[in-house]
Amino acid sequence: MLTILNWELLSVLFIMGVFTFVLNRKHLLSMLLSLEYIVLSLFLILFIYLNMLEYEFFFSMMFLVFSVCEGALGLSILVSMIRTHGNDYFQSFNILQC
């Protein structure tokens, strides 16, 4: 019974992160924060799954390393976008412009 409630809670956490990602399309910073929330909920799912199967947590450590690299890449894109365009609105950012 407890494991079913855990999986339902974790799936609700993931779905809430996806909804916030879909609904917040105006600012790049809010999209990056919702992506980090999704990554943390996926890490929690992975950690509980590996704990239930009694595996080692090396893969979860690799997942954390890649998620930190993803976060650093997103912040560098945010900083370069603010330096070139002055804000993080997607409406002012033209992809075809070099």
* Cα separation values, 65 from 29, 39, 58, 81, Å: 21, 11, 11, 24
Residue 93 has pLDDT above 70, yes or no: no
Compute the C-alpha angle 4/8/12, nearest 5°. Answer: 170
CA dist 76 and 55 (Å) reads: 35
Distance CA 26, CA 60 (A): 32
Domains of the chain (ranges, CATH numbers): 2-85 (1.10.287.3510)
Q: What is the pTM of this model?
A: 0.81
In this predicted model, what pLDDT tens digit does every residue of 5-60 receive, in sequence order?
778 888 888 899 899 888 887 888 888 889 999 999 999 888 888 888 888 888 88
**Are 28 and 78 within 8 A, CB to CB?**
yes
**What value does the CA radius of gyration of the chain take, rounded to a whole number of Å?**
17
pLDDT tops 80 at residue 2:
no
**pLDDT-derived band at 69, boundaries 50, 70, 90:** very high
Over 80: is that where the pLDDT of 97 sits?
A: no
Q: Give strand pairing partners of 27.
A: 89
